């Protein structure tokens, strides 16, 4: 009886190790032509959002003032920025250097 229990426990442990962990969902927002595309998204808590700078020469930022971001975190062509949203709510953001001149802004809505 104890031998069966031990074998079953070992088997379940090996199966648990063999099953890959569930990857968190990732949403990509393209940053190109002085725009976020898409500019507004709705995601579930725990989702990773990645902004990819696809410009040829221009730097940008993803600035969430209400989340306490510090200004000036620019990223250049070929670079990206990521953030995981765990709390429900609506989170507006801007490209700090281009939101007034080019209207670069967006919103991440997080809903259960």
Instruction: Please check whether the domain covering 23-110 is classified as CATH 3.40.50.300.
Output: no
Q: How many CB atoms lie within 10 A of CB 78?
A: 10
Query: What's the distance, Cα to Cα, between the start and end of the chain in Å?
Result: 45
Query: How many Cβ atoms are within 10 Å of 35's Cβ, its own excluded?
Result: 18
Q: What is the pLDDT of residues 40-76, one digit of tens each?
A: 999 999 999 999 999 999 999 999 999 999 999 999 9
pLDDT at residue 24 above 70? yes
> And the tokens for 112?
């259960």
| pTM (2 d.p.) | 0.79
Enumerate helices (H) and strands (E) in the chain, giving the number of each.
2, 9
């Amino acid at each position: 009886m104890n031998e069966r229990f031990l074998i079953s426990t070992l088997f379940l442990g090996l199966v648990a190790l063999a099953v890959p962990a569930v990857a968190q969902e990732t949403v990509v927002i393209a940053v190109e032509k002085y725009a976020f595309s898409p500019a507004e998204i709705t995601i579930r808590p725990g989702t990773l959002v990645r902004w990819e700078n696809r410009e040829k020469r221009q730097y940008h930022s993803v600035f969430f003032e209400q989340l306490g971001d510090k200004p000036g975190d620019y990223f250049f062509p070929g670079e990206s920025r990521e953030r995981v949203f765990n709390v429900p709510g609506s989170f507006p953001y801007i490209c700090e250097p281009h939101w007034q001149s080019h209207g670069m802004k967006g919103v991440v809505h997080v809903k259960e």
